Chains A and B, each alone.
Chain A
Amino acid sequence: MADEISRNGNQERQALHGAAAEEDRWLDRPSSINLIIKILVAACVLSVLADFFYHKHADYSFQDWIAFDAVFGFVAYVGLVMTAKGLRRLLMRDEDYYD
C-alpha cells in the first residue's frame, strides 16, 4: 500500500511538477491575504459590537460581560499554542527516534 501511494505520488509529481509557468493565483498575492485578514478583523469587530444589541442569558453571570468569549478565545488560543510550543523541548525527538 505504502509503495503504491509513493509510486503513485512520485509519478504524479514528476508528471506535473513545474508544468510550464503557472497562471497567477489570486491567493498568491499579498494584497489578497491582507484583504482576508481585514475581513476577519471586521468580522471580529462586528461580533463584539453585536454584544450591545441583545440581552445575553448565559449559564454563568460573568459570561454576560461584553466580549467575554472574544477575550477568552484569543487568550486561550495564544496560551495553548505557546504552551505546546514550549512542550517541544520536552517531547520532541528526531523523526527516526522509534526506528
Chain B
Amino acid sequence: MIDVFVSGLPPGVLLIVAAIPAVLLPHRLSQAVMMALPIVGLAHLLQMPADFSYSIEVFDYTLQITRIDGLSRVFGIVFHIAAFLGVLYASHQKDRLQAAAALIYAGAAIAAVFAGDLMTLFVWWELTAVSSVFLVWASRTEAALKAGQRYLIIQVMSGLLLLAGAILLYRDSGTLAFEHIGLESAGGWLVFLSFGIKAAFPLLHGWMKDAYPEATVTGTVFLSGFTTKLAIYALARGYAGTDILIPIGVTMTAFPIFFAVIENDLRRVLSYSLNNQLGFMVVGVGVGTELALNGTVAHVFAHVIYKALLFMAMGAVLFRTGTIKASELGGLYKSMPWTAFFCIIGSLSISGFPLTSGFVSKSMVLSAVGHEHLLIISMVLLFASAGVLDHSGIKIPFFSFFAHDSGIRVKEAPINMRLAMGIAAAFCIGIGVFPEYLYAILPYPVEYSPYTVSHVVTVLQLLLFAALAFVVLWKTGLYPPELRSVILDIDWTWRRLLPAAWSGVSEVWLMGQRWFLGTADRSRLAVLDFTRAHLSPWTRFGEPWPTGVTAMWAAVLLFAYLLLSF
C-alpha cells in the first residue's frame, strides 16, 4: 500500500522532501546530494510510463496527483535540467535557507505540471510562490525585502484566483479535473486570470521586472526557469486555441522590448527579454494547432536553458564586480573570457541564429502563425525577433564584456559557475544542431524541418541586417547611451500612483472630517449660547411664569388644535 502510494507520487516530490535534510549535511556532501537529486528525479521520470496516472481519495474528492502524458512529461524533463543547472551554479554558496528554498521551489514546479486536477495544482502553485520569494529575500537588502513582499502578494493572489475559479468550475461541472477549460464560464475567466498573472500578461507583468532583478545572483537563475513556464504549461493545458491569447501574446512580444532597450540594470533587461519570449509561447498556445503547441513546448525547452545561461552569465558579472548596471560595466571579456564566451552562445540562441536552440524552436511558432495566415501577428513577431537581437543578442554581451573598457579587472567566474554555463551552452548548440532529439519528446508527432534554405537565409538576413543597424547607430552616436536611471513601468502604479492616490483620499477624508467636526462643534456651541441667552432663569422665557399666563397659553393651544382638526 505504502509502496503503491510512494511510486504514485509525482516527480518533484523527491526534491521537496529531500531539500531540508540535504541542506543540513556538511557543505560538500550537501552539494553532492543536491546535485544528485535532479538527476535521480529525471531518471525516475524517464523510466516511468509515458502515460501514467495516480489518484487518491480525499474526503469525497478524487485528486489525480500524478498525470504523466506527452505535454507534462517534456516540461518535467526540462524543469529537472534547469534544477540541476541551478544547483550546480549555486554550489559555491553556503546559504542553507536559500538552497532549501530553491530545491523546494523547483520540486513544487515539477510536481505542479504533473497535477491532474485543479486542487492539486493549486497546492503546488502556492508552494512555488511561497518558496520562491525566499530567493528574493535572500539578497537581504531593503529593496529586495520590499520587492519580495510585492512579489509574494501578487503570486498569492494568482493562487487565490485559481482556487476561486476551481470552486466555480466544480460547481458548474462537478469535476476538478484539469483538462481544457476555455472562457465560457466565470470560473474559466478566474483561472485564466490566475494563469495570466504568472505568465506575465501585459499589465500583469510588473512583478517580474520588479522582483527578479532584486533576487540573489543564484536565485534569479532559478526564478527565470520555473514560475512563468509553469504558467505556459497551464495555459497550454487549459486554454489551447483560445483566440484572445494571440493578441495578448503578440503584445507581450513587442511591448517589453522598448523597455529592454533603455533599461540600465542588465538583469532587468533580461527580465523584459523573458517577458518577450513568453509572448511567443502565448501566441503559440493561442493558435493551438499541433504545430503551434509543439512549437510552444519546444520554445519552452530551449528558452529555459538559454535564459538560465544568460542569467548565469549576468549573475557571474554581478558576483565578481558587485554591479550589473550597463553604465558601470564594459571590457570584462579581458578578465572573464569564459563567461563572455558562454554569454555570447546564450545571446545567439535567444536571437535565433541557425545552429542554436532558439532557431529550431521559435521558427515552429512563427511557421504555425504563418500557416494560419495571421498577417499582422506574423509581422509583429518578426519585428519582435529583430528586437530580441538588440536587447539580448547585442546589449547584454556588448555592454558588459565589450563596449568602453570600464577598467574593472576581476577574477573569472568560479569553476562551478563556468561548468553550469558550459553545460547550458552545450545544450543550446546541441539542440540547434540535432533538433530531432528535442522534436522526439514533443507532445505531438513532428513533421517539421527548420533547416530549409529559404528559412535559414531569411532568418540570417533579418538578424545580420539588424546587427548592421546596430553598428550604424553605434558608429553615428545615435544609439542611446547607457544611463544610470530608473525606467518607470506598470509597477509604478502600485509603488507610487496608488500610495499617492491613497494619501490624497485620506487627506480629503481628514479635511471632510475636520470640517464636519468643526461645524458640529460650532452648532453645539451656538445652541448652548442660545439656551444660555434666552432660557436661563433670569431671561424672559426662563423666569417663573404666573399660573394664569400658562393656563391662557394652554387654552390658546387647545383652541388652535380644535380649529386645525376641522
Chain A residues in the interface with B (C-beta under 8 A): 1-3, 5-6, 8-10, 12-13, 16-19, 22, 25, 27-28, 37, 40-41, 43-44, 47-48, 50-51, 54-60, 63, 67-74, 76-78, 80-85, 87-88, 90-95, 97-98
**Cross-chain contact A76 with B485 (CB below 8 angstroms):** no
A9 nearest in chain B by CB position? B322
- A-facing residues in B318-346 (Cβ within 8 Å): 318-323, 333-335
Interface string of B485-496 (1 = CB under 8 A from A): 111110000011
Residues of A within 8 A of B95 (CB): 1
Rounded to whole angstroms, the CA-CA distance of A43 and B95 in the bound complex is 48
Chain B nearest CB from A83 CB (Å) reads 6
Which single member of B138, B259, B375 contacts A1 (CB below 8 Å)?
B138
Closest A residue by C-beta to B217:
A5
Q: B463 near A: Cβ within 8 Å?
A: yes
Given A12-B411, A40-B471, A58-B454, also A47-B320 (CB < 8 A): no
Asked whether, in the complex, the Cβ of A9 is within 8 Å of the Cβ of B465, the reply is no
A54 adjacent to B458 (CB under 8 Å):
no
Q: Is the CB of B466 within 8 A of A76?
A: yes
Q: Tell me if B408 and A17 are in contact (CB < 8 A).
A: yes
- CA A73 to CA B466, docked complex, whole Å: 5
- Closest Cβ neighbor of B410 among chain A residues: A12
The residues of B that contact A71 with a CB separation of less than 8 Å are 465
**Is the pair B139, A1 in contact by a Cβ cutoff of 8 Å?**
yes
Shortest Cβ distance from B260 into A: residue? A84
| CB–CB B382/A76 < 8 A | yes
Report the nearest A residue to B216, measured CB to CB.
A1
B217: which of A1, A17, A50, A80 is its contact (CB, 8 Å)?
A1
Decide: A78 and B473 in contact? CB cutoff 8 A: yes
In the bound assembly, the distance between CA atoms of A91 and B471 in angstroms comes to: 26
Closest 7 CB pairs of A and B: A9-B322, A59-B370, A84-B261, A77-B469, A73-B462, A16-B409, A6-B322
Docked CA distance A67–B486 (Å) = 38
A78 to B473, CA, bound (A): 8
Which partner residue on chain B sits nearest A90 by CB separation?
A: B488
19 A-B residue contacts at CB 8 Å? A1-B138, A1-B141, A2-B144, A19-B409, A40-B464, A44-B464, A50-B457, A56-B454, A58-B458, A63-B458, A67-B461, A74-B466, A77-B390, A80-B258, A80-B383, A81-B390, A87-B262, A88-B262, A95-B484
Contacts A17-B407, A40-B471, A76-B382 given: A54-B485 contact, CB under 8 Å? Answer: no
Q: Which residues of B contact A56 (CB under 8 A)?
A: 454, 458
> Across the interface, do B461 and A9 meet the contact criterion of CB distance under 8 Å?
no
Taking a contact as CB atoms under 8 Å apart, the answer to whether A69 and B458 are in contact is yes
Task: Contact check, A87 vs B258: say whether CB atoms are below 8 A apart.
Answer: yes
Cα separation A9 to B328 with both chains bound (whole Å): 13
Given contacts A44-B468, A74-B465, A92-B487, contact A13 B333 (CB under 8 A): no
Question: Do A2 and B141 contact each other (CB < 8 Å), given the known contacts A70-B465, A72-B462, A94-B486?
Answer: yes
Residues of B within 8 A of A (CB): 95, 138-141, 143-144, 216-217, 257-259, 261-262, 318-323, 333-335, 367, 370-371, 373, 375, 378, 382-383, 386-387, 389-390, 402, 405, 407-411, 453-454, 457-473, 478-480, 483-489, 495-496
Chain A residue with the shortest CB-CB distance to B389: A77
Q: Which single residue of chain A is at the shortest CB-CB distance from B460?
A: A47
Enumerate chain A residues within 8 angstroms of B370, measured Cβ to Cβ. Answer: 58-60
Are the C-beta atoms of B471 and A84 separated by less than 8 Å?
Answer: no
A92 touches B262 (CB 8 A): yes
Closest to A78 in B: B469
| Other-chain residue from B216, B321, B470 in contact with A77 (beta carbon distance below 8 A) | B470
The answer to whether B411 and A69 touch across the interface, beta carbons within 8 angstroms, is: no
Residues from chain A with Cβ under 8 Å of B407 in the complex? 17-18
**A73 and B320: CB pair below 8 A?**
no
One of B371, B461, B484 near A59 (C-beta < 8 A): B371
CA distance A87 to B321 in the complex (A): 30
Q: How far is the CB of B295 from chain A (nearest CB, A)?
A: 14
Chain A contacts of B390 at CB under 8 A? 77, 80-81
Complex contact A40–B467 (CB within 8 A): yes
Residue of B nearest to A57 (CB): B454
Q: How far is the CA of A99 from the CA of B373 in the complex (A)?
A: 48
Among A13, A91, A95, point to the contact of B410 (Cβ < 8 A).
A13
B495 touches A98 (CB 8 A): yes
- Chain A neighbourhood of B261, CB < 8 A: 80-81, 84-85
| Residues of B with C-beta under 8 A to A77 | 386-387, 389-390, 465-466, 469-470
Query: Using Cβ atoms and an 8 Å threshold, which residues of chain B touch A8?
Result: 319-320, 322
